[in-house]
Amino acid sequence: MTSARDLERMEIDPDGRYQVSGLTQVERHALRVIKLLWLYRMERTRDVFQFTGFDLMDPILVVTAESLELRLPRSEWPHPNIPAPSSRFWKRVGWEGLDDATLTGLVDEARQARSGEYNACRFCGQRRSPEFLTGGACDDCAARHLGIIH
């Protein structure tokens, strides 16, 4: 029979790579994030968890034993026509005194901050992240109206 502790261990360490007796502090924090924000993809090392949302507005959460870091998603252009996912620092908070309502509120604030960075294309009006606008135009309109080919 599988115990609740075994189920928690499988949830935060599905590959069984970090066998310890009991949960570490960072694992307890990660479980809390999993329970509150279940639509996130989890990656981990021994001491750090990263949670990435499936929506372009979802912040990236970096969980350590000491703090929760919220990062805003963005794209970089290492090649002219191939974007690569990236992120930038938004806010870091300590776990002490951080209740569930405050944690989910921070995630909502980060989503709103990212949404606020989006601008409408000056030609078609479609809202895009700043990384995907050239001269105030989306890629399609930049090619059509400005002659810019990406």
Q: What is the DSSP letter of 130?
A: G
CB of 87 within 8 A of CB of 99? no
Same domain for 86 and 21, yes or no, is yes
Same domain for 113 and 123, yes or no, is no
Angle of CA points 100, 106, 108, to nearest 5°: 105
What is residue 150's predicted lDDT score, i.e. its pLDDT? 66
Question: Which comes out higher in pLDDT, residue 75 or 72?
Answer: 72
Structure tokens that stand for 149 in this block: 């080919």
Of 84, 92, 95, 83, the C-alpha closest to 110 is 92
Total tally of structural domains belonging to the chain:
2
Same domain for 52 and 67, yes or no, is yes
Domain with 8, as residue range(s), is 4-117
Same domain for 74 and 106, yes or no, is yes
Same domain for 30 and 67, yes or no, is yes
pLDDT tens column, 100-150 = 999 999 999 999 999 999 999 999 999 999 988 888 999 889 889 888 876
Separation of first and last alpha carbons in the chain: 57
pLDDT tens column, 6-23 = 788 888 888 888 877 789
Of 130, 118, 128, 107, the C-alpha closest to 59 is 107
Same domain for 78 and 67, yes or no, is yes
Same domain for 90 and 141, yes or no, is no
Same domain for 113 and 70, yes or no, is yes
Which of the four pLDDT bands, split at 50, 70 and 90, describes residue 83? confident
